Structure 1
Amino acid sequence: MTQADSFIMHCPQCKIRNRIPKEKVGAVAKCGKCGQDIDTDILNIGSPVIITDKDFYDQIINSPLPAILDCWAPWCGPCQMMGPFMDELAADWKGKIRVGKMNVDENPKTSAQYQIHSIPTLLIFNKGSLVNSLTGALPKNNIIQAMSPFL
């Protein structure tokens, strides 16, 4: 099985990498180490996922894929400029990276927890940990470069 024939997902329990064959996408897989169920439906998502304080932990921290979270607000011009980039990247990274969008005005708990004082801010998570953050309106290529270790 080649890399093009499969996806890599982290187990939500033990965080070990598991290879998922393309033909098994949409089914529930079992972690090769701990036996935990891994829901592979996430591999079919090709658009940004709307994240709230309520589902942040499940959608981002427990994501079996590396995740990038666009922290934005509807009144922010630079945030509006980055929106189409994030849509394109979500489609390009389908099955490889989870792309989320979180309105900071509507989700003050998560915004405070990660000290979002300037927007747009991109938070990059892997295996449940924050590994990088980027602030300001960035060109698409800069975002791709920041995510290249996970592609």
Structure 2
Amino acid sequence: MGATKETTDATFDADVLMNDKPVLVDFWAPWCGPCRAVAPIIEEIATEHADKISVVKLNTDENPEIASRYGITGIPTMNVYVKGEVVKTLVGALPKPKLVRELADFIG
């Protein structure tokens, strides 16, 4: 992992909800093919926009409490949090141009 950071049930509130910047949370699991496909794209966005947005990954298999709290039933799901609130939800392995467009308000 480079610019992305792992978060857990135990560290989620500090990593995400108390973050000053918008936070993109990638809900994923190791067995999920589309999750693996989108991982390099998320890493690129994290690297290219590190000054504007924090990017964290949450393994839903290892951290069921947070996934359950936010009603994550399908992965990959990406939520954008601003000041502790979910302001956008993206579901599925989106191509980079679409993902960047969807995140324009936060990384523009």
Same fold, TM-score > 0.5, yes or no: yes
Name the TM-score, length of structure 2 as normaliser. Answer: 0.94
Q: 1:138 aligns to what SS in structure 2?
A: coil
Aligned equivalent of 1:117, options 73, 81, 93: 73
The Cα of 1:142 is off from its aligned counterpart by 1.6
Deviation at 1:59, TM superposition (A): 0.4
1:94 and 2:50 matched: yes
Residue in structure 2 matching 1:75, options 3, 17, 31: 31
Flag as ranges the 4+ runs of structure 1 deviating above 2 A: none
Please give the alpha-carbon distance, in whole angstroms, between the structure 2 residues aligned to 1:54 and 1:79: 22
1-side partners of 2:72 and 2:95: how far apart?
Answer: 20
Deviations 1:15-45 (A, max 9, x none): xxxxxxxxxxxxxxxxxxxxxxxxxxxxxxx
Greater Rg by CA? 1
For 1:52, give the aligned amino acid.
Answer: T
Q: Distance in 2 between matches of 1:142 and 1:113?
A: 27
For structure 1, which runs of at least 5 residues remain unmatched after alignment?
A: 1-45
What's 1:141 paired with?
97
| C-alpha distance in structure 2 between counterparts of 1:73 and 1:137, whole Å | 13
Aligned CA RMSD, in angstroms, stands at 0.9
Matched AA of 1:62: M
CA distance in 1, matches of 2:98, 2:83: 22
The match for 2:15 is 59
Query: Percent identity, aligned pairs only?
Result: 39
Specify the SS of the correspondent of 1:95.
Answer: coil
Residue 141 of structure 1 and its aligned partner are, at CA, apart by 1.4
